């Protein structure tokens, strides 16, 4: 099984890198896990809606270039479906059972994901209505993927 995160922007904070690396190392016994970073689009603090759409579109093109046709894509989107950890684990298990061995998660930049990325997604996942920094979301998502594998293996880790 292959799990890939396609993310916008570089991770700068060492504490996020350390946490993600720890969970990635733990995940290696369950799957091939990798993170693919695409450059974020430089933009001033205040943007018009057209400028925001342009930034998201350019980032979206970069994201889509990293996704193959056979990959099952889960986009992280605030308007997506909220799952418990157990439901998330079952979703991953069901995907592998039904022949989806390549699962790709997408985390957008600070403005979110372009409509064309959401259109390509097979599923939209929300971690709640909070807005979280996309760097923190990488760590939270990586931990939840690990937790899902631990739940599916019957481990008491997730309690």
> Could you give the domains of the chain?
2-154 (3.40.1280.10)
What integer is the mean pLDDT of 31-49?
A: 93
The answer on whether 108 is annotated among ligand-binding residues is yes
CA 137/CA 143 separation, integer angstroms: 10
pLDDT score of 45: 83
Query: Which pLDDT belongs to residue 158?
Result: 63
Secondary structure of residue 64 in the 3-state scheme: helix
Residue with tokens 């739940």: 151
Q: Which pLDDT does position 28 carry in this prediction? A: 97
Q: Is 65's pLDDT higher than 70?
A: yes
Write 90-96 long-range contacts (CB < 8 A, 24+): 91/123, 92/145, 92/148, 92/149, 92/152, 93/148, 93/152, 96/1
């Amino acid at each position: 099984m292959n799990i890939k995160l396609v993310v916008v922007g570089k991770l700068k904070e060492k504490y996020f890198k350390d946490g993600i690396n720890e969970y990635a190392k733990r995940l290696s016994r369950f799957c091939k896990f990798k993170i693919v970073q695409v450059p974020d689009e430089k933009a001033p603090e205040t943007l018009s809606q057209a400028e925001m759409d342009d930034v998201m579109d350019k980032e979206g093109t970069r994201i889509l270039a990293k996704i193959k046709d056979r990959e099952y894509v889960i986009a992280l989107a605030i308007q997506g479906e909220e799952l418990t950890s157990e439901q998330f684990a079952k979703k991953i298990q069901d995907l592998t059972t039904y022949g989806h061995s390549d699962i790709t998660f997408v985390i957008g930049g600070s403005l979110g994901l372009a409509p064309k990325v959401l259109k390509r997604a097979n599923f939209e996942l929300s971690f709640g209505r909070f807005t979280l920094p996309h760097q923190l979301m990488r760590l939270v998502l990586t931990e939840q993927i690990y937790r899902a594998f631990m739940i599916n293996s019957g481990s008491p880790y997730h309690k």
